[in-house]
Amino acid sequence: METLIIVLKSVFLGIVEGITEFLPVSSTGHLVIAENLIGFRGQSPNYVEMYTYVIQLGAILAVVVLYWAKIKETLVNFFPQPGEYDRSGFKFWFTILVACIPGGVLGVLFDDLAEQYLFAPVPVAIALFGGGLLMLYAEKRFRNNQVKGGGWEISLRQAWTIGLFQCLAIIPGMSRSASTIIGGWVAGLTTVAATEFSFFLAIPVMVGMSTLKIIKIGGIGLLTTGELLSLGVGFVVSFLVALAVVDGFIAYLKKKPMKIFALYRLVFALIMLGAGFAGFF
């Protein structure tokens, strides 16, 4: 019965992760709140922390699958054949590297502090609210951008700007997706171009961060059979849900503004703040 309960909780959290990882609403923030609501954080600390990063890898795999044709093209063109001048693949991954640098440095310096003091429902709700306001302002200010960018058409200056904004994501509740999309707007990209670049940027960022965290925690050797089963279930569920969400999200952005997600953040944050101050967390 205990294993069944853990697995059911894992299914729920996998759905939460799959829905929120690439939407600008903060998957980490939603997981922190959801884990507290269902008592998931009562499990062993190593398992809870590892679970979060494993199911994030499931969501990242969805982007790799959906954008595999484009990713494969960049890998094929990474080293052009003699006499060819197509360096688009190399340029693509170099811009990704440039965008990773600011957040990588800041993460090494302050990630442990953020986990110690900010991974709780009330700080997350405050970050959700502040990020929602920033989204509303940024979209209104930059919504007429005409520079499409996207993929390897992103300049190094644009990539650096996006990377600087990604630093905001160290605050749980701000959202890596929202931070990089706002950075893309500031850099001059359209909403769709900024969002797709955010997807590509998530691949090395999340894979690298998750791998380092899992190694730091100590791997999976100390987990029980039930915990290992729930890790696998959460990974698969987040992957399948993210497959549907990413495709639908891009289709939505081609027709509609991002404002609805900012308003959702504001409302959800106020509800969570009220619950926190009322003592539910």
Q: Where are the chain's structural domains?
A: 2-277
Distance CA 144, CA 164 (A): 22
The predicted pLDDT at position 45 comes to 64
**At 13, is the secondary structure helix, strand, or coil?**
helix
Distance CA 168, CA 239 (A): 25
Summarised one tens digit per residue, pLDDT across range 60-79 is 999 999 999 888 888 877 66
Distance CA 173, CA 20 (A): 11
Helix, strand, coil in percent for the chain, rounding step 5: 80, 0, 20
The predicted pLDDT at position 219 comes to 62
Output phi, psi for 120, to 5 deg: -150, 155
The encoded tokens of residue 65 equal 């699958």
Looking at the DSSP bridge assignments, the partners of residue 147 are 189
Distance CA 46, CA 76 (A): 39
The predicted pLDDT at position 215 comes to 76
pTM for the full model? 0.89
Contacts of 74 (CB under 8 A, 6+ apart): 88, 89, 92, 93, 151, 152
Q: What residues of the chain score a pLDDT lower than 50? A: 151
The predicted pLDDT at position 79 comes to 66
The predicted pLDDT at position 214 comes to 74
